[in-house]
């Protein structure tokens, strides 16, 4: 049986859960990856009764839950906090804006996110960690390599209490490998795994769109971290075959700008080779869901969400149980 195709609700956070479930069913999805927000999973309302309401709404439309995501709060666990974070955080997490206080409250909220996932009957939290060293990505002014090592150690120090709590609850954390995070390619993913002492509750949300335009081998990522891929986001990205006015770093241009070197696209309309991804996922025996994280600045989101699930179903397939030439073998 092919993998379940689900919709990540981050880009649909303005829709009430009942409305979103109705649309997801109409689009053809099997289930949802619910984002923490006021409409989908509101952590301020967390209780057994509230979780029952959420599950009843999904059940009403024949949908299943395959993960809870909390990217914005996770970003603030390890980031150097500034005015930008206020725009993505609930007011009680921002508080007075004092950086260490924000980080501590964000960490507590991520533990609460794990509790919500467990209460909702799913074992995966998808999110970010932030990074104390992302702003040091370009090696100028020069710095001692120990500074980078200390950055990984700081993330491990802040994340381990969260991971320990998750392990106790039977929940796993899937870090989305992504620019601005402590892990944004294969090399940095290897470093953070080592820094957290290969904690059993720590793994990755595999999203090839964040690697392709960087020049990272997104198929090799699957081969390297097969047993640590806890969740998969299906999202496409386009990048130019020719030099552009703004390169990989984006030139401070918004998504969708014609002069960008790269941009997210609806699945099947970019350059990610999803068939090759499916083959690699089959090789590592990944049986989890394929979560559509739909993003495309130039397309209506409902049109895109509907076509995305059709595309990924067409490209997904079961691995063969026998060799294709087995019939030629003689006893």
State yes or no: pLDDT of 270 exceeds 90. yes
Query: What local confidence, expressed as pLDDT, does residue 325 receive?
Result: 66
Average pLDDT, the chain: 96
Residue 139 banded pLDDT, cuts 50, 70, 90: confident
Is residue 35 within 8 A of residue 9, CB to CB? The reply is: yes
Nearest-angstrom CA–CA distance, 120 and 110: 15
Residue 124, classed as helix, strand or coil, is: strand
- Residue 153 reports pLDDT greater than 70: yes
Mean pLDDT value of segment 279-287: 96
pLDDT at 173: 98
Tell me the average pLDDT across 253-264.
Answer: 96
In this prediction, residue 124 carries a pLDDT of: 98
The vertex-150 CA angle with 206 and 156, nearest 5°, equals: 45
What are the pLDDT digits (tens) for 205-215?
999 999 999 99
Q: Please, which residues have CB within 8 angstroms of residue 74's CB and are 6 or more apart in sequence?
A: 106, 110, 127, 128, 129, 130
How far apart, in whole angstroms, are the C-alpha atoms of residue 135 and residue 4?
37
At which residue do the structure tokens 């087995």 appear?
A: 326
**The pLDDT value given to residue 331:** 65
Cβ pair 233, 206 in contact under 8 A: yes
Residue with tokens 């479930």: 21
Does residue 199 carry a pLDDT above 90?
yes
pLDDT, tens digit, for every residue of 87-101?
999 999 999 999 999
d(CA 279, CA 307): 21
Distances (CA, A) of 26 to 62, 76, 306: 11, 35, 8
Query: Sorting pLDDT into bands at 50, 70 and 90, what band is 239?
Result: very high
The pLDDT assigned to 1 comes to 56
Beta strands in the chain (DSSP E): 5-8, 31-35, 64-70, 124-127, 172-176, 202-206, 229-234, 236-239, 262-265, 290-292
Section 130-134 average pLDDT: 98
How far apart (Å, rounded) are the C-alpha atoms in residues 275 and 19?
Answer: 32
Based on the number of CB atoms within 10 Å of its own CB, is 312 exposed (0-12), middle (13-18) or buried (19 or more)?
buried
- 87 φ, ψ to 5°? -75, -20
Instruction: Please state at what angle helix 17-27 crosses helix 301-315, rounded to 10 degrees.
Output: 50
* Residue 36's pLDDT band (cuts 50, 70, 90): very high
Residue 62 has pLDDT above 60, yes or no: yes
Q: Are strands 229-234 and 236-239 parallel, antiparallel or unpaired?
A: unpaired
Q: Structure tokens of 189?
A: 């993913």
| Span 5-328 CATH architecture | Alpha-Beta Barrel (3.20)
HSE, side-chain direction, 13 A CA sphere, residue 220? 10
Residue 319 banded pLDDT, cuts 50, 70, 90: confident
């Amino acid at each position: 049986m092919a993998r379940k195709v689900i919709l990540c609700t981050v880009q649909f956070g303005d829709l009430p859960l009942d409305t979103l479930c109705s649309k997801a069913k109409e689009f053809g999805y099997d289930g949802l990856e619910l984002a923490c927000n006021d409409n989908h999973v509101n952590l301020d309302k967390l209780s057994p009764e509230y979780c029952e309401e959420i599950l009843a709404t999904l059940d009403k439309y024949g949908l299943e839950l395959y993960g809870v995501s909390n990217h914005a709060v996770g970003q603030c666990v390890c980031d150097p906090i500034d005015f930008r974070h206020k725009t993505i955080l609930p007011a009680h997490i921002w508080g007075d804006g004092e950086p260490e206080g924000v980080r501590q409250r964000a960490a507590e909220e991520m533990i609460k996110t794990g509790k919500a996932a467990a209460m909702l009957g799913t074992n995966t939290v998808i999110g970010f960690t932030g990074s104390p060293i992302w702003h040091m990505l370009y090696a100028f002014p020069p710095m001692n390599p120990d500074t980078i090592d200390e950055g990984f150690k700081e993330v491990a120090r802040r994340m381990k209490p969260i991971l320990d709590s998750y392990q106790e609850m039977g929940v796993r954390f899937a870090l989305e490998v992504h620019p601005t995070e402590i892990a944004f390619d294969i090399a940095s993913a290897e470093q953070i795994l080592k820094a957290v002492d290969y904690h059993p509750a720590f793994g990755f949300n595999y999203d090839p769109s964040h690697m392709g335009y960087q020049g990272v081998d997104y198929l090799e990522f699957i081969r390297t971290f097969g047993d640590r891929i806890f969740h998969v986001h299906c999202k496409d990205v386009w990048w130019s075959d020719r030099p552009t006015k703004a390169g990989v770093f984006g030139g401070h241009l918004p998504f969708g700008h014609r002069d960008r070197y790269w941009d997210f696209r609806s699945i099947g309309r970019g350059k990610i080779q999803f068939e090759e991804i499916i083959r690699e996922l089959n090789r590592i025996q990944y049986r989890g869901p394929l979560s559509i994280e739909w993003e495309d600045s130039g397309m209506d989101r409902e049109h895109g969400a509907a076509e995305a699930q059709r595309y990924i179903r067409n490209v997904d397939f079961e691995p063969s149980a026998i060799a294709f030439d087995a019939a030629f073998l003689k006893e």
